[in-house]
Amino acid sequence: MTDTTVRAALSRDRILQTAVALADREGIGGLTMRGLAAELGVEAMSLYHHVANKEALLDGLADAVAAEMQDAVAALEATGGWKHNLRQRILTAREVMLRHPWAPGVFESRTSVGPHIVRYTDALVGLMRSGGMSHDLVHHAMHALGSRAFGFTQELFDPAGSADEDASPELLTQMAAEAPNLVEMLAHIAHDDPGSTLGWCDDQSEFEFGLDLLLDGLERRAERERLA
């Protein structure tokens, strides 16, 4: 196969799907244009006919993950009210994120959104509107949900190493005089679900706790709107 034939066989979708697989295997730090080209069996310059630069590639990766979310939530059955269905959609999106642990960092770093991200978000807005929520409350809800709408949480702190290492007895002793309340809390908590972690404290139980807290509050606000 000639170089021209190989370039012709390339497509943006093929490049993105290969990049997703490479990031899954090597981590986002191991994804380079040169490495991606080698994976595809082409010269790096061939990629630039489809993605302008590394940032454009990362934009495409975020949208590819959002497309996977759309496909996953499309299989869900609307068996309950807006709150139940919204919860199921978000937890399904999280399952996609857990398949691509590098994806939250890419989502956080994007300054533009692709069409699949827009469509996924639009469906969430439509679901809340179908439940009778006003545009104003839906707007507040999307701000409150933040990254949770896509299945992960943006942590306030993201220290290096694991939570267990950061809460070591030596460190707790050093911190005790300056932050006694924080030290007491860290001495009593444990993260027992490292297999589903997407951040420092973003394990499944913490994610669902925060999500349910928000949804319960939104449900109460929606009911107040209905009775007003």
Mean pLDDT of 204-224: 95
Whole-angstrom Cα distance, residue 200 to residue 156?
9
Q: Is the pLDDT of residue 191 over 90?
A: no
Can you read off the two tokens belonging to residue 133? Answer: 């929520």
Q: What percent of the chain has a predicted confidence (pLDDT) above 70?
A: 86
Q: Is the pLDDT of residue 180 over 50?
A: yes
Mean pLDDT of 93-104: 96
Q: Is the pLDDT of residue 50 over 60?
A: yes
pLDDT of residue 201: 75
Residues 65 and 19 sit within 8 Å (Cβ to Cβ): no
Whole-angstrom Cα distance, residue 113 to residue 64?
11
Can you read off the two tokens belonging to residue 197? Answer: 């972690």
- In this prediction, residue 192 has a pLDDT band, given cuts at 50, 70 and 90, of low
pLDDT of residue 12: 95
Q: Is the pLDDT of residue 8 over 70?
A: no
